[in-house]
């Protein structure tokens, strides 16, 4: 905590020093606009460094008492915006840049600061979407020389290490990431693994989960033009093995004795699962459920939510966060950020309550610690 506070203090003083220099240059009417532009770019870098050091300090040291510390960054935000506006007006007045381009740059910097763009956590299933959204929504808002730095800021620590030495070559960074996370074979392997590890259909809720996972796998492989990966007896048997007895009996009646190819059978299966989903939704629609049945259904759903705890990272999975391999591979700082962003408890790591109201008084199992926090949040 002390080292992070020192880092933030150093960043604050460097930002303040460059702010003072830039304001002095603005007061001198004869200052070359190119000099103003160069110092403004340097101030922008110092501003980014200050925000990063502040965020690391807050994420690592966050407690309820730290919430007021947001006022710290708000003060410097106001100062930065005022200085940037003054520089833009000065350069526009001097004819160095057009007003249109200057306002565009100002708008871009503010949008990048506030944009809600998810960090890539190393999950192969998420990489194609992450790359598509980054190129579509982030790249048009940035200058080319900024892209390597911005891309790194949206990678978790473990992924960032893969491109740490490729500081200024955005193409080489994407090539490195594609090789590890973007190959079709790896994505297919993850999809097929999800199918083979689907939950058994013990009730309507788990049945819907099985259908959802199957449909998601079908959609992903369809986008990759690799549906043939699903058209084999092993995958089909894995899905059939998760069905309830009533589902399986009805399915067997549909396909028994048809002598159809696997691709035709799988198309029939997707249609069958879609119809089964509609049955469950229709059966439990509020307008057709009596009050007593509704109470029973709510109790069942509440019970199931306690049994099938959702992962805070992989929202479609049914493993708890403390068993998630991606979560365990993160640094402690990244784990704390996941818990904080999900409004989860720092003791049991489940959302919906805070540590002060948690009934599970977990203590850290690290020798000589024994503090009230989960062992996965212990700083070594």
- Contact (Cβ atoms closer than 8 angstroms) between residue 337 and residue 346: no
Domain count, the chain: 4
Q: Is residue 190 part of a domain?
A: no
Q: Is residue 188 part of a domain?
A: no
Rounded to an integer, what distance in angstroms lies between the CA atom of residue 288 and that of residue 243? 25
Rounded to an integer, what distance in angstroms lies between the CA atom of residue 65 and that of residue 56? 16
70: pLDDT confidence band, cut at 50, 70 and 90? low
User: What are the tokens at 378?
Assistant: 């212990």
Identify the domain containing residue 80 by its residue range. Answer: 2-114
Q: Is residue 264 part of a domain?
A: yes
- pLDDT tens digits, one per residue of 245-270: 888 888 888 877 777 887 888 888 88
Listed in sequence order, the DSSP H helices in the chain are 2-27, 33-61, 70-93, 99-114, 127-133, 147-153, 157-160, 170-181, 184-196, 204-223, 233-242, 245-255, 262-283, 291-307, 325-329, 332-341
- Contact (Cβ atoms closer than 8 angstroms) between residue 324 and residue 311: yes
Question: Residue 333 above 60 pLDDT?
Answer: yes
Residue 27: beta bridge partners?
none
In this predicted structure, what is the pLDDT of residue 378?
83
Tokens 């008492």 — which residue? 65
- pLDDT tens digits, one per residue of 150-183: 888 888 888 888 888 887 788 999 998 988 887 7
In this predicted structure, what is the pLDDT of residue 23?
85
In this predicted structure, what is the pLDDT of residue 247?
84
In this predicted structure, what is the pLDDT of residue 339?
86
Q: Is residue 30 part of a domain?
A: yes
In this predicted structure, what is the pLDDT of residue 100?
46
Do 141 and 109 sit in the same domain of this protein?
Answer: no
- pLDDT tens digits, one per residue of 267-313: 888 888 888 888 888 776 644 444 444 444 454 444 443 434 568 88
Do 301 and 333 sit in the same domain of this protein?
Answer: no
In this predicted structure, what is the pLDDT of residue 380?
65
Do 68 and 145 sit in the same domain of this protein?
Answer: no
- pLDDT tens digits, one per residue of 136-150: 888 887 788 888 888
In this predicted structure, what is the pLDDT of residue 301?
44
SS3 117: coil
In this predicted structure, what is the pLDDT of residue 279?
84
Domain boundary residue among 82, 114, 146?
A: 114
Do 133 and 74 sit in the same domain of this protein?
Answer: no
**Higher pLDDT among residues 44 and 30, named by residue:** 44
- What share of the chain in percent tops pLDDT 90? 0
Do 159 and 253 sit in the same domain of this protein?
Answer: no
Do 330 and 289 sit in the same domain of this protein?
Answer: no
Domain boundary residue among 114, 141, 157?
A: 114
Mean pLDDT on 220-224: 69
What's this model's pTM, rounded to 2 decimal places? 0.38
**Average pLDDT score over the chain:** 76
Q: Is residue 51 part of a domain?
A: yes
**Higher pLDDT among residues 284 and 334, named by residue:** 334
Do 213 and 293 sit in the same domain of this protein?
Answer: yes
- pLDDT tens digits, one per residue of 346-362: 888 888 888 877 876 67
Q: Is residue 313 part of a domain?
A: no
Do 176 and 225 sit in the same domain of this protein?
Answer: no
Domain boundary residue among 279, 307, 335?
A: 307
Q: Is residue 187 part of a domain?
A: no
Do 40 and 98 sit in the same domain of this protein?
Answer: yes
Mean pLDDT on 186-196: 75
In this predicted structure, what is the pLDDT of residue 64?
43
Do 217 and 296 sit in the same domain of this protein?
Answer: yes
Do 234 and 276 sit in the same domain of this protein?
Answer: yes
- What share of the chain in percent tops pLDDT 70? 79
Q: Is residue 136 part of a domain?
A: yes
Rounded to an integer, what distance in angstroms lies between the CA atom of residue 20 and that of residue 64? 34
Do 74 and 147 sit in the same domain of this protein?
Answer: no
Q: Which residues of 278-317 are buried (b: 16+ CB within 10 A; e: fewer)?
A: eeeeeeeeeeeeeeeeeeebeeeeeeeeeeebbbbbbeeb
Cβ atoms within 10 Å, residue 361: 9
Question: Residue 84 above 60 pLDDT?
Answer: yes
């Amino acid at each position: 905590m002390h080292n992070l506070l020192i880092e933030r203090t150093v960043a604050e003083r460097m930002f303040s020093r460059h702010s003072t220099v830039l304001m002095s240059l603005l007061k001198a009417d004869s200052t070359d606009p190119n000099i103003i532009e160069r110092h403004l770019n340097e101030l922008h870098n110092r501003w980014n460094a200050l925000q990063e050091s502040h965020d690391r300090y807050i994420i690592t040291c966050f407690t309820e008492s730290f919430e007021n510390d947001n006022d710290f960054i708000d003060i410097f935000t106001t100062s930065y915006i005022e200085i940037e506006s003054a520089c833009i007006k000065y350069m526009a007045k001097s004819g160095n840049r057009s007003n249109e381009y200057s306002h565009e740059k100002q708008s871009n910097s503010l949008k990048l600061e506030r944009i809600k763009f998810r960090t890539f956590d190393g999950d192969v299933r998420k990489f194609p979407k992450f790359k598509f959204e980054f190129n579509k929504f982030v790249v048009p808002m940035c200058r080319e020389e900024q892209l390597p730095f911005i891309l790194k800021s949206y990678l978790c620590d473990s992924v960032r290490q893969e491109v740490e030495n490729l500081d200024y070559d955005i193409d080489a960074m994407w090539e490195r990431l594609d090789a590890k996370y973007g190959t079709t074979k790896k994505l297919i392997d993850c999809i097929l693994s999800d199918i083979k590890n689907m939950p058994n259909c013990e009730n309507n809720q788990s049945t819907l989960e099985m259908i959802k996972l199957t449909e998601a796998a079908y959609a992903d492989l369809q986008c990759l033009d690799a549906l043939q990966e699903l058209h084999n007896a092993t995958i089909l048997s894995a899905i059939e093995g998760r069905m309830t007895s009533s589902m399986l009996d009805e399915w067997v009646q549909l396909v028994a004795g048809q002598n159809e190819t696997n691709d035709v059978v799988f198309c029939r299966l997707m249609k069958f699962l879609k119809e089964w989903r509609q049955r469950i939704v229709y059966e439990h629609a509020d307008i057709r459920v009596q009050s007593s049945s509704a109470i029973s259904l709510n109790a069942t759903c509440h019970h199931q939510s306690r049994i099938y705890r959702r992962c805070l990272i992989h929202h479609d999975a049914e493993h708890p966060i403390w068993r998630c391999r991606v979560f365990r591979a993160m640094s402690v700082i990244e784990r704390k950020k996941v818990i904080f962003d999900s409004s989860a408890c720092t003791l049991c790591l489940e959302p919906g309550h805070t540590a002060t109201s948690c009934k599970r008084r977990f203590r850290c199992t690290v020798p000589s610690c024994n503090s009230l926090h989960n062992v996965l949040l212990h700083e070594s």
